Amino acid sequence: MKFGIVTFPGSNCDYDAYQGVVETLGEEATYLWHKDHDLQGSDVIILPGGFSYGDYLRAGAIARFSPIMQDVAAHAKRGGPVLGICNGFQIACEAGLLPGALLRNESLKYIAEFVKLRVENTETLFTNRYEQGETLLIPIAHGDGRYTADETTLDRLEGEGRVVFRYVGGRRDAEEFWSPNGSMRAIAGIINDAGNVLGMMPHPERAMDDLLGSDDGLGVFESVLARVGV
């Protein structure tokens, strides 16, 4: 299976994603340049973390208009898997591939630390290798991660099982919801209604090996592999 990793000016987790896919998973990966119109036959598209276009105006607002994003949107519309991580999640929201928006962290501080996530739905393309309610240790590294949407959208996301990851525990109780960034309803990751576009603020590609402190992120990639195959 081939992963296409988009490099925008200011992306900085594209290499991590590439390493994770190629070295850890042993799958094929290629970089996709933001000015191109060619997905190079990729089966899965990764919108990586970073600060595309310097986060000018709003995080993800400018990247959304990159030439390659037209092709990514078409791929998503065809049902092709798209994984938006961190800045990729922000871009996916700005592009309308996912509902809601990611605003400045409530603390107004950039947060880089390991957090606990609970897998809320194990039926998705990206989470089928996890156990229901499993708690994962995956790092976050962002200044704008406060997931925000209107109540109707939030209720709909929850009702349809589209809240895929939630922050839990913090440093206290692993069962309790806790938003490190002020996210509404402690949302860390959501999926679109067709089930092929996942956006998440935590970085699974930075948790692919025990050497990095956790390999809990592997499941996201293994789940896509299990479902898409090839």
Partner 1 sequence: MNRYRIAVHITPRRGILDPQGRTVADALHTLGFSAVHDVHVGRHVVVELDAGDEKAAAESTRAMCEKLLANPVTEDFEIASVDAS
Residues with a catalytic annotation lie at 86, 203, 205
Please report whether residue 155 would count as binding partner 1 according to CB under 8 A: no
Rg (CA), the chain: 16
The binder of partner 1 chosen from 108, 113, 152, 172 (CB under 8 A): 108
Residue count (the chain): 230
Residue 227 burial (C-beta neighbours within 10 Å; 0-12, 13-18, 19+)? middle
Query: Within a 10 A sphere around the Cβ of 64, how many other Cβ atoms?
Result: 20
Q: Do residues 188 and 68 make contact, with C-beta atoms less than 8 angstroms apart?
A: no
Alpha helices in 121-174 (DSSP H): 151-159
177 part of the interface to partner 1, by CB under 8 A: no
Nearer to partner 1, 57 or 226 (CB): 57
Minimum CB distance to partner 1, residue 2 (Å): 32
Q: Are 142 and 181 in contact (CB under 8 A)?
A: yes
Pairing of strands 163-168, 111-119: antiparallel
Among 47, 61, 83, 200, binds partner 1 (CB under 8 A): 61
Q: Residue 190 has which token pair?
A: 């959501």
Q: Return the range that interacts with partner 1 (CB under 8 A); candidates 54-62, 71-79, 161-169, 210-218.
A: 54-62
Least separation in angstroms between residue 152's CB and partner 1 is 12
Distance, CA of 72 to CA of 138 (rounded, Å) = 26
**Minimal distance in Å, beta carbon 104 to partner 1?**
6
Q: Any contact of residue 144 with partner 1 (CB under 8 A)? A: no
Q: Are 186 and 167 in contact (CB under 8 A)?
A: yes
Query: Rule CB under 8 A: is residue 107 a binding residue for partner 1?
Result: yes
Binding partner 1 (rule: CB under 8 A), the pick from 4, 80, 88, 100 is 100
201 near partner 1, rule: CB under 8 A: no
Closer residue to partner 1, CB minimum distance, 40 or 107: 107
Residues making contact with partner 1 (CB under 8 A): 57-58, 61, 65, 93-94, 99-101, 103-108, 146, 148-150, 182
